[in-house]
Amino acid sequence: MPDKNSISSFFDLIQQALKDQSLVSLTASKPWTKSSHKKLSFKPVMLKGRYHISLSYLDNKQQFTEPLNPSTFSEKLASILKQYKQINAQLLHKSAQLLINKKGEGSLQINNKSQRLTLEHNKEKKYAIPPDAGFLFDLDLSTKDGKIKDKAQKKYRQINKFIEVITPHIEALPDQANIYDFGCGKGYLSFAMDEYFNQQLDKNFKIKGIDLKEDVIRKIQKISVDRPGLDFICGDINNQQPASIDALIALHACDTATDVAIAKGIKQNAQLIIVAPCCQKQIRKEMKAFAAKHPMLKHGILLERQASLLTDTIRGLIMESNGYKTKIFEFISTEHTAKNIMIIGEKTARKQDQALAIQQLKEQYGIKEHALEKLLA
């Protein structure tokens, strides 16, 4: 039952955590009035050898951070308890959630759940996904104290670049949008989307990662139990029949798995389709007879590149024929990955008739059928 004591017990708990420096993080969400920031996040930091609490919040889509000394933080907390309906605190050995009702009474829930503490002021470039985000440690990309491991630097930058590139497209999706990550692998991108859009920007996206690999999915299902917006499913994307897809991503899904993902998106009228193709074997095989007679394509590597270009060109044209405004571009430097072409399609009301262009390309290169055409037939 909610009561007045729960609020003061919560306040005392945080005071004690400040004294013994066991506060890991605190967030205040669900403000009573629209004039308050949607979410305030607090984390301890060491500044010039002194213990501070860093406050961060979004204002006009811009992230602000300010350090508070412990007594200023206590005053701030007292006022937050009047302004917000939900306050979550993570301490070193327990977590606490305080829900406050309209009568100003609170319900306090405490769970014994240990966390690691990071007490460093982050002077590095500000990334959408901070290096001390818990999932990076769980996925073996960072150390216990929140530093990205040397071997994971490229992956970390790739994840952040991905979030940077997709943000303007994803932000327009409705609040409860269903977002699929087809061929999610270890789930880096699903976790990153949940971390940034759901945790930081307070969206309520339903993100579902799907992959064939049972052991990998089992592991990330365990890591994601505390993330209500994130779900991992073990299965073949060919066999998935989602009731509704608002957006999908498929990064480096092998060969025609990219086409399967695009086809699912088109059939479900997805608002947004984002793919970064991997190997393009299907078209390469079909081009073999033509390539044997063509001086430019007698070398394997040139045939491979030409087949990739052709595969993605036809994918883009098919998406345009189905009403998607399509962009094809390099989303990250080749220093990170050679597979750096991204196709983004945004659903519009206008279908472009690309049938002739597709037919001419196929005839030119001796191709009978593109995998995506077959999937949509």
Ligand X SMILES: C[S@@+](CC[C@H](N)C(=O)[O-])C[C@H]1O[C@@H](n2cnc3c(N)ncnc32)[C@H](O)[C@@H]1O
The residues binding ligand X (CB under 6 A) are: 183-185, 188-189, 210-213, 236-238, 251-254, 257, 278
Which two tokens mark 29? 């969400």
Closest CA to 85 of 130, 36, 29: 29
- DSSP, residue by residue, 198-219: IIIS----EEEEEES-HHHHHH
CB of residue 141 vs ligand X: minimum separation in angstroms? 11
Query: CA-based angle 234:236:240, to the nearest 5?
Result: 90
- Under 8 Å between Cβ of 174 and 246: yes
Q: Which is nearer to ligand X, 91 or 189 (CB)?
A: 189
Q: Which is nearer to ligand X, 277 or 316 (CB)?
A: 277
What's the Cα-to-Cα distance from 14 to each of 52, 57, 81, 101, 199, rounded to whole Å?
14, 20, 12, 20, 22
CB of residue 169 vs ligand X: minimum separation in angstroms? 17
CB of residue 132 vs ligand X: minimum separation in angstroms? 21
CB of residue 180 vs ligand X: minimum separation in angstroms? 11
Q: In angstroms, rounded to a whole number, what is the distance separating the alpha carbons of residues 321 and 262?
A: 13
Which two tokens mark 317? 């044209």
Q: Which is nearer to ligand X, 253 or 371 (CB)?
A: 253
Q: Which residues contact 190 (CB under 8 A, 6 or more apart)?
A: 181, 184, 207, 208, 209, 220, 230, 232
Q: Which is nearer to ligand X, 179 or 189 (CB)?
A: 189
CB of residue 155 vs ligand X: minimum separation in angstroms? 8
Q: Which is nearer to ligand X, 17 or 250 (CB)?
A: 250
Q: Which is nearer to ligand X, 94 or 213 (CB)?
A: 213
CB of residue 279 vs ligand X: minimum separation in angstroms? 9
Phi/psi of residue 97, nearest 5 degrees? -125, 130
- Alpha carbon 311 to its chain centroid, in Å, reads 26
Q: Which is nearer to ligand X, 37 or 252 (CB)?
A: 252
Q: In angstroms, rounded to a whole number, what is the distance separating the alpha carbons of residues 181 and 158?
A: 16
Q: Which is nearer to ligand X, 135 or 188 (CB)?
A: 188
Which two tokens mark 216? 């990998």
CB of residue 184 vs ligand X: minimum separation in angstroms? 5
Q: Which is nearer to ligand X, 210 or 266 (CB)?
A: 210
Q: Which residues contact 27 (CB under 8 A, 6 or more apart)?
A: 39, 40, 41, 42, 87, 88
CB of residue 139 vs ligand X: minimum separation in angstroms? 10
Residue the block writes with tokens 């063509």: 294
Phi/psi of residue 219, nearest 5 degrees? -65, -45
CB of residue 251 vs ligand X: minimum separation in angstroms? 4
